[in-house]
Amino acid sequence: MTETILALVPVYGLVLIALGTLLSCLALPIPSSLIMLSAGGFAAAGDLVLWQAGAAALGGAVLGDQLGYQAGRLGGRLFSARKLSAGRTALMAQAGAYLQDKGSLAVFLSRWLFSPLGPYVNFVGGAAQLDWVRFTRAGVAGEAVWVTIYIGLGAVFADDILALADLLGSASGLLAALAMAGGLGLWLRAALRLRQRRRSPDQNPPEDDDLPLPHP
């Protein structure tokens, strides 16, 4: 498949680059990183124009992010229409509030540093009703970093694209796994705190002033 992609990039050029980044941002198994590295390599060889390749990759990625966000927004509305328990409702509200507070940073970093998580952050951001302007601003900035890194590295290391793709893929996968572990830990801590707050009124003993007075 790698050889096929390398052969298709100079033939279909900008259309393939844009389509590859778009589909990858929708969680489809498309090797967009390899496509961008290849685009940078072919641009260095003169088969593509570097800025056009970058613009195509950026345009496809931003469009994919927007589609994922809108899909999550629609899915979130359908999910919120279901009747949930009080505990789950409170936990969902707390998760949404956290995303509203830290959402821009999460969106920005998931575009390039934790890129395997990017499509899922799109869905979650839409479902949590993250402000569209904040999402778009952080998303475009992060995608610009992602595109610049991969197409730039492809242009610089045009002779070692396959080895570079394997190295970057392993690194991004490790970072994504660490980010998921950290996020799971934060979610579990929030869930435990919520459960403790719900149980604390029943577990706390009554104060002396609240005890009933004995009859004479």
> pLDDT tens, 129-156?
889 999 999 999 999 999 999 999 999 8
pLDDT over threshold 70, residue 110: yes
**Residue 209 included in any domain:** no
Residue 106 lies in a domain: yes
| In a domain? residue 175 | yes
Note whether residue 207 is domain-resident. Answer: no
More reliable by pLDDT, 179 or 40: 40
Long-range Cβ contacts of 29-35 (<8 Å, 24+ apart): 31/1, 31/2, 31/5, 31/165, 32/57, 32/61, 33/115, 33/150, 33/165, 33/168, 33/169, 33/172, 34/2, 34/5, 34/161, 34/165, 35/5, 35/9
Residue 166: per-residue pLDDT: 72
Q: What is the mean pLDDT of the chain?
A: 78
pLDDT in tens, 182-213: 555 555 565 566 667 666 655 555 555 554 55
Q: What share of the chain is helix, strand, coil (3-state, %, to 5)?
A: 85, 0, 15
Nearest CA to 111 out of 130, 98, 125, 97 is that of: 125
Which position has the higher pLDDT, 104 or 81?
104
Q: Is residue 212 part of a domain?
A: no
More confident residue, 9 or 209: 9
> How many domains are there within the chain?
1
State the pTM of this model.
0.73
Q: How confident is the model at residue 35 (pLDDT cuts 50, 70, 90)?
A: very high
Collapse the DSSP code of 10 into the 3-class scheme (helix H, G, I; strand E, B; otherwise coil) and give the result. Answer: helix
Domain annotation covers residue 215:
no
User: Within a domain: residue 204?
Assistant: no
Q: Which of 13-22, 49-58, 94-103, 178-187 has the lowest mean pLDDT?
A: 178-187
Domain hosting 126: range is 2-197
**Cβ pair 136, 108 in contact under 8 A:** no
13 domain residue, yes or no = yes
pLDDT at position 172, please? Answer: 56
Structure tokens, 9: 């990039």
pLDDT digits (tens, 9 = 90+) for 94-103: 555 666 677 8
